[in-house]
Structure 1
Amino acid sequence: MSREELIALVAHRDCQLAARDVRIAARDERIAALSTQVAGLLEANEELAAKPARLEHLLTRNSSNSSIPPSKDDDPGRMPPAVKPARRVGGPKRARGKQPGAPGANLAWADNPAKQVDRFPTGRCECGHDLAGATDLGIVDRYQQHEIPLISVTVTQYDQHQVRCGCGRLHTATRPEGARTGLVGYGPNLQSFAVYLMVVHFIPATRVVEVLQSLTGATPSVGFVHGMLDRAATLLVEADKRIRALITLAYAVSADETPLRVGGKTPKPGRKKADKYLLVACTELYTHYLLGNHDLDTFKAFVFKDLIDSVVVHDRYHLYDSAEIGELTHQLCGQHLLRDLADAAETYSDAHWPTQIADALRGLIHHANLARDAGRRALNDAVRDKLINNFRDGVKVGLSDTTSHGTKPGERKARLLLEVLRDREDDVLRFAHDLRVPPTSNQAERDLRPAKIQQKISGRLTSEARTKDRYLIRGYLSTAAKHGRNMIDALREAILGHPWMPPDPAPA
């Protein structure tokens, strides 16, 4: 080949090599792009695959394995709690209905009735004689009827006279107890009934007027009825302070919190919902509420800062552990722990440790209740130590099975629960060593349940101030009922200006 042909051939080869390099670079770019796309698709596929698991986990949450209320168990798509046989420690399964030895309830015969009426046959006999003249042969049948009188509003005019003493001084009669200013007003009985219907039975003010009109014939305005909340609460400020003070003297106090729809529907900046939080601190004798926000400031403003000498039974919401509300002595609610253990048992369905821990905790609660009912000061050492050893062994096995927080739904929650059971054993089992401490915060949940019922009946409460009044009154009435007082009587005493006050606690 000539020199020119060789140069042309080399140039052609160089062009081919350059074109090949371009194709290879383009291929590498496509491969890199495809690799990135595949990685993204794999990640998206993992996320999509995890979503059904998370959704299934959420749908399996119910009142037996979470804090979801039982009223939500029949929501569409939600899995209801499994039907379990009644647990009994020894003995046969408990039958339905009244149990042997349980006190009965019936409408008893009154030995001293308030009124006694003799009834005689009336009319004429078949022979034609008037039965009014028949011979009385004595009583052959008796019947006592418990009845309430028909209620009808009556208007009573009180004329306050003025007199002059022989010394010349003038004296004017006072108005009847509970009378308000002005020429006319409603009496304390009607006022008490109106407040009772609103606070205890969650009836809106408009319907309270309808009830009063139907039952008594009185027609107070809606404004008057609603304004009774403010008036009653104002009369109960000192009683509320006393209840709060008595709670701080209690050895053990149950606490709980729940969201409450109060005020406008537009949430404040930085918040997702326009909700308040209702806090309760209570014992078997006292109930005290605070309406606030879901934040530390509300917890600091509540009674917790004064409970440094008490045991606080709670659901282990993290704000109870804040150093800013003081060093509290804790008892973690056993009922909440058992629900979380039920959740762990569903997450780790092949593991035995959730059941072992739950059975040990449930056994400790059962024996503590038996010992308390029997008037004993402590659990049997052998029974307690055996159950505590079972509890600890179950926690150790669970920790070894869950060496990390995991990635599947429920695994992280189960691991965190095990860490609490290990690191806070004293707070979990305090009730087993001191029978004065209740094992659950059920008392607080019972005292908060009216708020949840009210939300279902009435929905959002428009006024924050009146809602605070409601729960100040509710705390007073709950405390009175726990002391055996009739709520209507306690309300009437408050409206008359001398509210019932809880007595001093019995000496320990």
Structure 2
Amino acid sequence: MVKRGREALEPNMDIIEEALLQSDILHVDETSLRIDGKQAWVHVACTSAYTYLAPHASRGKKATDEIGILPQYKGTMMHDAFGTYPRYTEATHALCHAHHLRDLKGFIEQGHTWAKRLTTFLLSAKQVVEQHGGSLLEEEAERWERVYDHILAKAQYRLEGMTPLPKKALSFVRRLQKRKEEALRFLREAHVPFDNNQAERDLRMVKVKENISGAFRQETFAQSFCIARSIVSTLTKHEKNVWDSLCLLLTGETIDRVLSAT
């Protein structure tokens, strides 16, 4: 049924793509999925209003180039620092702190005291930004930046003096130093969130499907599922009745008209 519905639903993916390209913030991520007995990936580009899912044999830039959204995007791209995303230089970038907090939890368990201070810093900054309506005045943002720099500088000094050298922790600290602007963009720009949880939520049903079915036997089935799931997710985000809306879409209505209908 999903495969048969694809012909009617697929043209709406262009409408979703155009809406994503016009957004100030774009959440991007990917997750693994087995297709035809091989490791593949499902890529997501999404906002709080639209979802675009696409399967591909590749995880990296070959996939995102061929899917086609990221090469055109010129807003702010929110992600987990996976090496593919920063290569799109037409966009600005913001880093997901949910990923950082998970890494920091591991470092705390290993006894790194700086990781606890950085965790407190990030959670406190998030709270302050929310209290100020989504962004800080420049003077206040600069004060938080100085604290950030101080914590990371002390962490780097201590890590570099340890034997054996804790390479993973040191790499983490150096990355946050090098990419400070991306890590702290949420302080100044109200449209930039603290984390990339939107993308993780929109990928969740892919993992649910995998847990139930195990895999897709053919790529065309995976493509059909991703199209249907993108449409259902987008309808849900607009609080539309999914069944009634799908009936309209399957008979030739377009998703922009369905979403704008009262």
Q: Which SS does the other structure have where 1:497 is aligned?
A: coil
CA distance in 1, matches of 2:248, 2:259: 19
Q: Report the Cα offset of residue 400 of structure 1.
A: 0.4
Assess if the C-alpha contact under 8 Å between 1:364 and 1:384 holds in 2: no
CA distance in 1, matches of 2:255, 2:72: 24
The answer to whether structure 1 residue 297 and structure 2 residue 62 are counterparts is yes
Q: Report the Cα offset of residue 326 of structure 1.
A: 4.1
Q: 1:260 to 1:442 in 2, by over 3 A?
A: same
1:238 is aligned to 11
Which of residues 155, 174, 177 in structure 2 aligns to 1:398? 155
1:353 is aligned to 114
Indicate the larger mover: 357-366 or 276-285: 357-366
Q: Report the Cα offset of residue 377 of structure 1.
A: 6.0
The answer to whether structure 1 residue 413 and structure 2 residue 168 are counterparts is yes
The answer to whether structure 1 residue 255 and structure 2 residue 16 are counterparts is no
**One-letter amino acid of the structure 2 residue matched with residue 330 of structure 1:** H
Between structure 1 and structure 2, the one with the greater Rg is 1
Deviation per CA, 1:320-344, whole angstroms, max 9, x where unpaired? 123xx44431101011011112222
Q: Report the Cα offset of residue 407 of structure 1.
A: 4.5
Which of residues 211, 214, 225 in structure 2 aligns to 1:470? 225
CA distance in 2, matches of 1:296, 1:491: 32
1:208 is aligned to none
CA distance in 2, matches of 1:494, 1:406: 62
Q: Report the Cα offset of residue 383 of structure 1.
A: 5.2
What is the aligned-residue identity percentage?
24
1:17 is aligned to none
2:49 is aligned to 285
CA distance in 1, matches of 2:259, 2:160: 52
Assess if the C-alpha contact under 8 Å between 2:8 and 2:250 holds in 1: yes
CA distance in 2, matches of 1:430, 1:468: 34
TM-score by length of 2: 0.91
1:48 is aligned to none
CA distance in 2, matches of 1:447, 1:288: 9
Q: Report the Cα offset of residue 390 of structure 1.
A: 2.2
Q: Where do 5+ consecutive residues of structure 2 fail to align?
A: none
2:126 is aligned to 365
**One-letter amino acid of the structure 1 residue matched with residue 15 of structure 2:** R
**One-letter amino acid of the structure 1 residue matched with residue 204 of structure 2:** R
1:300-311 matches, cutoff 5 A: 300-302=65-67, 303-307=69-73, 309-311=74-76
Q: Where do 5+ consecutive residues of structure 1 fail to align?
A: 1-227, 266-273
1:342 is aligned to 105
CA distance in 2, matches of 1:361, 1:377: 15
Q: 1:232 to 1:406 in 2, by over 3 A?
A: farther
CA distance in 1, matches of 2:259, 2:243: 22
Deviation per CA, 1:350-379, whole angstroms, max 9, x where unpaired? x432111111111112222333xxxx3632
Structure (1/2) with the larger helix percentage: 2
Q: 1:286 to 1:406 in 2, by over 3 A?
A: farther
Q: 1:404 to 1:261 in 2, by over 3 A?
A: farther
CA distance in 2, matches of 1:501, 1:455: 30
Assess if the C-alpha contact under 8 Å between 2:61 and 2:84 holds in 1: yes
1:389 is aligned to 146
Q: Report the Cα offset of residue 296 of structure 1.
A: 2.3
Which of residues 192, 196, 199 in structure 2 aligns to 1:444? 199
Q: 1:489 to 1:343 in 2, by over 3 A?
A: same
Q: 1:304 to 1:406 in 2, by over 3 A?
A: farther
Q: 1:290 to 1:502 in 2, by over 3 A?
A: farther
1:159 is aligned to none
1:319 is aligned to 84
CA distance in 2, matches of 1:335, 1:431: 13
Assess if the C-alpha contact under 8 Å between 2:45 and 2:51 holds in 1: yes
CA distance in 2, matches of 1:334, 1:379: 18
TM-score by length of 1: 0.48
1:16-35 matches, cutoff 5 A: none
When the two chains are superposed, the root-mean-square deviation of aligned CA atoms in Å is 2.2
CA distance in 2, matches of 1:250, 1:461: 32
CA distance in 2, matches of 1:246, 1:382: 34
Assess if the C-alpha contact under 8 Å between 2:25 and 2:78 holds in 1: yes
Assess if the C-alpha contact under 8 Å between 2:31 and 2:42 holds in 1: yes
1:179-190 matches, cutoff 5 A: none
Q: Report the Cα offset of residue 499 of structure 1.
A: 3.8
CA distance in 1, matches of 2:227, 2:217: 17
CA distance in 1, matches of 2:161, 2:214: 42
Q: Report the Cα offset of residue 230 of structure 1.
A: 2.4
Assess if the C-alpha contact under 8 Å between 2:114 and 2:155 holds in 1: yes
The answer to whether structure 1 residue 487 and structure 2 residue 242 are counterparts is yes
CA distance in 2, matches of 1:331, 1:406: 33
Q: Report the Cα offset of residue 486 of structure 1.
A: 1.1
Which structure has more RCO (C-alpha within 8 Å, separation ≥ 6)?
2
Q: 1:332 to 1:234 in 2, by over 3 A?
A: same
